[in-house]
Amino acid sequence: MQQVSVIFPYLPIPAHRRRDRARQRLREMFGTIIRARKASGRSEEDMLQCLIDYRYKKDGRPTTEDEIAGLLTTMLFGAQETSSITTTWTGAYLLQFRRYLAAAVEEQKEIMKRHGDGRIDHDVLAEMDVLYRCIKEALRLQPPTPIVFRWSHADLAVTTKEGEELIVPKGQIVSASAAVANRLPHVYKDPDAYDPDRFAPGRSEDKAAGALSYISFGGGKHRCIGDAFAYLEIKTVWAHLLRNFELELVSPFPENEWNSMVVGVKGKLMVKYTRRKLVVDGN
């Protein structure tokens, strides 16, 4: 999505026409699924069922087919773009700062020693702390949603770290930028450096200024609910790549695509790869 789409969502440009056609097609596909589920009389334990069964607290009315299709579309794309962008940035940083790549490969070997090379499930992924910190640090430096917005429902008093008191008046839109907050020098040491160890026990810089020190997933009531799942996805991709490929970055380290709403990598990130099978003893 481009930035212009936020300000003028219905501007008659080719991108919006393609979006509307795709939205209509998705609407039809989800509609078929929703109707089939309702007609079957089955009740499954999944998100679709939650949305079908939901009743609005205000008047008790059920969700409409259109609303369910809209929510499913949002979840599908919101979650997919942010996770794939973070997967790419993680790779860019690992291949640029190869000492962390070596540490992540070493961790895979240790894990393969404990669990064998065929098993990558939830519990095994939970042991990948080094990889977790590498992803988290890429996401600190490159949050795909660099700004979140809130509507102030009441006058809000805020005290700055210098002790100055400010009032955010009721009715204002307030924005917080992860791109700025995640690099504050009084929270993060050498904030522009890629240093996954800053999250290691003993340093825990992401807690240095309280709960909102690290806001790549937003914060407060509308904080991302998919963060744990995102880490699982990204770890799965990178565990597979680290175990099966030797990788080298052949394009320059990427710049940001600021023109896009969900900010990713500008242009192509080119990587040279050689297939390999990581073995526990040796390489």
Closest approach of ligand HEM to the CB of residue 113, in Å: 29
> For residues 90 and 88, what is the distance between their CA atoms, to the nearest angstrom?
5
Closest approach of ligand HEM to the CB of residue 210, in Å: 16
Closest approach of ligand HEM to the CB of residue 114, in Å: 27
In terms of CB distance, is 54 or 109 closer to ligand HEM? 54
Instruction: Spell 52-73 as b/e; 16+ CB within 10 A means b.
Output: beeeeeeeeeebeeeebbbbbb
In terms of CB distance, is 81 or 112 closer to ligand HEM? 81
Closest approach of ligand HEM to the CB of residue 93, in Å: 14
In terms of CB distance, is 130 or 138 closer to ligand HEM? 138
> For residues 276 and 108, what is the distance between their CA atoms, to the nearest angstrom?
14
Q: What is the DSSP string of 194-246?
A: --GGGGSTTT-GGGTTSTTS--TT--GGG--S-HHHHHHHHHHHHHHHHHHEE
Residue 274: which H helix or E strand, with range?
strand 271-275
In terms of CB distance, is 219 or 254 closer to ligand HEM? 219
In terms of CB distance, is 52 or 280 closer to ligand HEM? 52
* DSSP classification of residue 162: T
Footprint of ligand HEM (CB under 6 A): 75, 78-79, 82-83, 86, 139, 144-145, 148, 216-219, 222-226, 229-230
Beta bridge pairs of residue 245: 275
Residue 22's SS3 state is helix
Closest approach of ligand HEM to the CB of residue 146, in Å: 9
Nearest to 263, CA basis, from 20, 1, 38: 1
Residue 224 assigned to a binding site? yes
Q: Which residues are annotated as a binding site for heme?
A: 224
Q: Which residues are annotated as a binding site?
A: 224
